[in-house]
Structure 1
Amino acid sequence: MTQCVFITGATSGFGEASARRFAKAGAKLILTGRRFERLAALADELRPLCEVHIATLDVRDAEAVAKIVEDLPEAFSQPTVLVNNAGLAKGTDPSYAAKLEDWQVMIDTNVTGLVNVTHALLPRLMQSPGASVVNLASIASNWPYPGSHVYGASKAFVAQFSRNLRCDLAGKGVRVTSLEPGLSESEFSLVRFDGDQDKYQQLYGGTNALQPEDIAELIFWLANQPPHININSLEVMPTSQAWNNFNVVKQDS
């Protein structure tokens, strides 16, 4: 059976790389994102390899999500893989200096958006034994660091939501994985830094960070395990990243 893969946030980073990886295998692709021009260009690139359906989508809009799923063309009406990739981080300031608007955008996208898409697609996924849901969480799901505050909390939601879905879907034939990447080089960080190229270079210079293609390969692997195997969670870092000592600071007087 040909896989039919629904990818959110397919216009850059992990989502775009995942589209290319599944296309190589001849999967049908449902590509969504907010930037139509990028979706259209990616579809044109991949159509020689596979069937592609695109839809402009802001995952924060529950009605729009439901409408896109309801209106899927017949050839794409039975997704077998959901890649919940759409997400973002905004800002690196400590919580007491962060913008409330940035917090709200992260919650609306990383939490509400993922819930909207999952809720709309679960009934269809349950009709396909061996179907897979891959939720993009983060090492920030598990490990705190300065400036992570709402971003890390939103990704912790993704990880816990994935585990709870597993409980509900036990015996239904649908796998759920929380994929938790560490330092990854993509447009994601430019968004977080408000386009500051210097900050981007300072973060990634000399690190040999994970690349979108690395994560796409893992997503493809997860979705192509034998149907009786569920990888509950998968945390991955580049070899240049690891844990460090607890931070001990002088307290303000």
Structure 2
Amino acid sequence: MVDPHAVHRVVEAAGSHGLVLEPGGGEGALTLALAETCKEVISYEVDPRLAGRLASRTRDEDRITVVRGDFLGARVPREPFAVVGNIPYAITSKIVSWCLEAPSMTSATLVTQVEYARKRTGDFGLWSLLTVLTWPEYSWKLLGRVGRESFRPVPAVDSAILGIDRRPVALLAGEPLAGYRAFVEYGFAGLGGSLDASLRMRYPAHRVAAAFEAAEVRPGTVMAAVHPGQWLVLFDRLHPAEPPGR
């Protein structure tokens, strides 16, 4: 990323943090900008040549530590931290998985291919399985687009800023969360074509109809067109919590 305006937009979207892990530091444009707003930046660069240049460039920056290695092998910090990076697009899914599995991560602000960011945030009018599964714990937002001219070499596609934020209080946790995930995975299997048809294969038709009315989902809607918040309503109506003392 060589466009200073694009770098500023990423840093602004990420906000200020105590500790930031950066996947793929590259030439260091984003690394240096993050160090201006964050207390500590640990930048991972797998390319030895780039890592050496970045380490040399930032040797006088007390807030920056350059690690010559793969971010996917990074130790998860015990203290709260954020992930911010212009990531290698070929391993986007792996980096996102690493972030979601890190218990102390508070947010991830990632420059990805625009299609990936749109898919994960419902910008196509459809919601991915990963987004719906993780919705009780994380919010997904499209924070802006970045044109291909902001990079060197110029890629074949445009990019976007994807924001993943851990919710301060999870909407579901423990056994209810596990039950919700199993419910979503069953719904996305598409056994009946539409979501209500699939659910009627497991639940009484009148309960499915009442749940869809409560969630304001039209019968016949395909599973990917159901908003994550509506999935939560459907789960709540079809799997009501046990009353105290039961």
TM-score bracket for the superposition, by shorter chain length: 0.3 to 0.5
Q: Greater share of strand residues, 1 or 2? A: 2
TM-score (norm 2): 0.44
TM-score (norm 1): 0.43
Higher relative contact order (CA 8 A, sep 6+): 1
Which structure has the greater CA radius of gyration?
Answer: 2
